[in-house]
Structure 1
Amino acid sequence: MKTAIALASLAAFTTSVQAQYFGLTAIHSGSPIHFLPVNAAGGILRLGGISAHYCPETVQHEGACPNTVVTNFLGGNGGLSMGALVPGGQVDGQAYVDPKCGAVKYTEPHSAFIPAGAVTDGFSFSQGSSFGILSWGEGFTACNDTGDGTWSVYAFMPNVTLPDAPHCLGFDAVATNGSIRDALTAEKTRAVR
């Protein structure tokens, strides 16, 4: 009996820990950003493209770096961080909003440096029955300003003018696990055909 209770408690604990990590997908129906994943690359969050991952050399030598092309996140109740999958990976990967331009950026591996005036506590996560929503005050927008086909993610901030504003689109950031993200990708593929 004690073993069954212990196993049930462990399963509940594992589920609650796993529920903290999530991927993000942009939702803006009928637009080029609809169903694009939110990825971390080059110090900024982007829609589309491939996620840039940091994996420590010791873990690389052991061949234990995760084989993934998406960014996982953690938190959303005030702050937002990168979800590190290996010890020492993306240490202090805290997301913040750049006060000069509104870009949603993140700290570099092994650095906790955040520019003066940057905002780290405006993120809000709400969980629904099938998926969650990551919110930010007045919302998120994505601008096609990278030159590489990805879209930079910005948070609306007072007194900040977004770059290339005519080429920006607002979006909802839907929190997904792998199976939901796969279903969204399949739906986008069907819509394109």
Structure 2
Amino acid sequence: MKSFVALFTLVASAAAQDYFSVMVLRSASPIHYSTLTARGGKFYLGGAGPSSYCPPEVGDACPSGNNTVFAGGDETLSLAVVVPGGQQVYIAPDGTMAYTAPHSAYMPYGSIVDGWSKTKGENYYYLNFKDGLVGCPPTVQNQGYQVFGKIAGFNSTGCLGFSSLALNTTGVGAWEY
């Protein structure tokens, strides 16, 4: 019973936050209307769905894990998860848009965690990274376009810039990604 009460408290406190999923806009491209998906510690546009996990003891109280949901967007960005400690989104030194493993705050030295913002458009909010994001063509079939932050030294030749439309959601996306 204590575990259920603790889980309920975590989910209830998380529900009070601002959660959103991201759809990308890039007209006349293969990534137009794709969703930003957390998979294997990195982010992709298109390809398979998110990689999520829920401990068996949580049972039916677990979020579906079918969509990638974010929290924040005011300088920092996180995945909207229930797992204790959360999961931080960052740009790795090689430009990869990535996220921390569950129960860990580890990021490679030189990773960038700040520079995120949400700005109001005409009818929606947009998620921004300070110098922009790009989707680079897949190197593995059905992987989807991998997302990178435009940082100093990153070669974005062949990659597509895009706008990130932040779509409000009602709760966390998964126990963990």
Is TM > 0.5 for Structure 1 vs Structure 2? yes
Structure 2 residue aligned with 1:24? 22
In proportion to residue count, which structure has more strand?
A: 2
Output aligned runs, 1:34-73, within 5 Å: 34-48=32-46, 49-59=48-58, 62-73=59-70
Q: 2:167 aligns with which of 172, 176, 180?
A: 176
Higher helix share: 1
Deviations 1:66-111 (A, max 9, x none): 2242100000111100001x4x27x431000011x21100001111
Per the alignment, residue 80 of structure 2 pairs with 83
Counterpart in 2 of 1:6? none
Alignment gaps of 5+ in structure 1? 1-13, 180-193
**Which of the numbers 106, 111, 114 marks the counterpart of 2:104?**
111
| C-alpha distance in 2 between matches for 1:146 and 1:153 | 12
The two structures have a TM-score, normalised by structure 1, of: 0.73
Contact 1:76 1:123 in 2 (8 A): yes
What's the C-alpha RMSD, in Å, of the aligned pairs? 2.2
Is the partner of 2:87 in helix, strand or coil? coil
**Cα deviations by residue, 1:19-75 (Å, 9 ceiling, x for unpaired):** x1000011001111000000100110111230111323321xx22222242100000
Residues 1:171 and 1:64: Cα distance change in structure 2 (over 3 Å): same
The structure number with the bigger radius of gyration is 1
**Corresponding residue for 1:135?**
128
The code of the aligned residue for 2:104 comes to: S
AA at the equivalent of 1:83: A
User: Quick check: 1:145–1:151 contact (8 Å CA) kept in 2?
Assistant: yes
SS in 2 for 1:76: strand
Give the superposition deviation at 1:128: 4.0
Distance 1:68 1:130 in 2: 27
Conserved in 1, the CA contact under 8 Å of 2:19 and 2:169? Answer: no
Q: Which has the higher contact order (CA 8 A, sep 6+)?
A: 2
* 4+ residue segments displaced more than 6 Å: none
Distance (Å, rounded) in 1 between the aligned partners of 2:141 and 2:49 = 11
Q: Counterparts of 1:144 and 1:44 in 2: how far apart (Å)?
A: 14
Task: Tell me the percent identity.
Answer: 35
